Amino acid sequence: MNYQTWLNEAVLSLSAADLQDSPKRDAQLILQCVTQQSFANIFAFGETALSEKQLAELTVLLARRLTGEPMAYILGEKEFWSLPLLVSPDTLIPRPDTEILVESALKIGQDCLQNQSTLRILDLGTGTGAIALALASELKPLAEKCGSILEIIGVDRIAQAVSLAQRNAERNQLTFVDFLQSDWFSRLPSDTKFDMIVSNPPYIEAGDIHLVQGDVRFEPLSALVAEEQGYADLRFIIENAPHFLKDEGWLLLEHGWQQGEKVRSIFVENNWQRIATIKDYGGNERVTLAQYAV
């Protein structure tokens, strides 16, 4: 079987599975992954014969996709903020909505770098390291220009996630970002203070119908589900972040599109100031931020 014949048959199979993505694009990516050829080469040399080993690998990967497994896990990679990131079933797949959190944090970070000598940022539940590394890629040039020191730490309670984030830092030449294993703040020294804390914590309620639909079916529940109708981890972070923030430091949290009002009320209950919610690209409330003043 050659490249073009395999592509044609794979597209037919994926189309019949009705996975709501592009069957043609998925088939192309799988073929590129196995053959290590660019799409241009595959298109130009469609008559190239596939080896038995390649056909076996293609059969396995296509079967995984036909079950609905996300392409990011099949390929082992997902781009976020123009950074190629390794992904695994130990972590969430980075999503475009989280770029809203990065954009909001960048505005604060840029202001800090222009007005102080050091900027320290903590990323809670870092997963692939997507948020921490996106911030690092944008803020490091400005820090160097301003003569300021930039320190970014990402923590995750899953050892495999920490290892993956470290590999992503190396892959993107952002090795000054530190990653360590910690259940939220538990392994941070009590005297550690940050200018900004960011997090995309679990915020889905157990039993939510979306947990058995689409890509989410394959992602780790521990990174998705929280007690108290999805608010437990959001509340925990809001209540404990002040112990790890400098005076007038900021906390930015991603949350569900219907959770903005409740999250703002939790901030109010805990005496935070300048509370605001940012909408995502679909016009839904997605990120709430606030400042804590002693």
Count the Cβ atoms, other than its own, within 10 Å of residue 232: 16
Q: Is 5 annotated as a binding residue?
A: no
Output the pLDDT for position 171. Answer: 97
Q: Is 125 annotated as a binding residue?
A: yes
Q: Is 73 annotated as a binding residue?
A: no
Under a CB-based contact definition with an 8 Å cutoff, are residues 287 and 252 in contact?
A: yes
Output the pLDDT for position 20. Answer: 67
Distance CA 94, CA 91 (A): 9
User: 3-68 domain in CATH 1.10.8.10?
Assistant: yes
The correct CATH number of 88-292 out of 3.40.50.300, 3.40.50.150, 3.40.50.2300, 3.20.20.70 is 3.40.50.150
Output the pLDDT for position 219. Answer: 86
Output the pLDDT for position 45. Answer: 84
Q: Is 203 annotated as a binding residue?
A: yes
CA 35 centroid distance within chain: 28
Distance CA 201, CA 222 (A): 10
Q: Is 147 annotated as a binding residue?
A: no
Q: Is 128 annotated as a binding residue?
A: yes
Q: Is 97 annotated as a binding residue?
A: no
CA 9 centroid distance within chain: 33
Where does residue 87 rank: exposed (0-12), middle (13-18), buried (19+ CB within 10 A)? buried
Q: Is 2 annotated as a binding residue?
A: no
Token pair listed for 221? 């529940």
Output the pLDDT for position 209. Answer: 82
Q: Is 81 annotated as a binding residue?
A: no
The string of DSSP codes covering 25-85 is: HHHHHHHHHHHT--HHHHHHTTTPBPPHHHHHHHHHHHHHHHTT--HHHHHTEEEETTEEE
Low-confidence residues in the chain, pLDDT < 70: 20
At residue 198's C-alpha, the angle toward residues 194 and 204, to 5°, is: 145
Sequence ranges of the domains in the chain: 3-68, 88-292
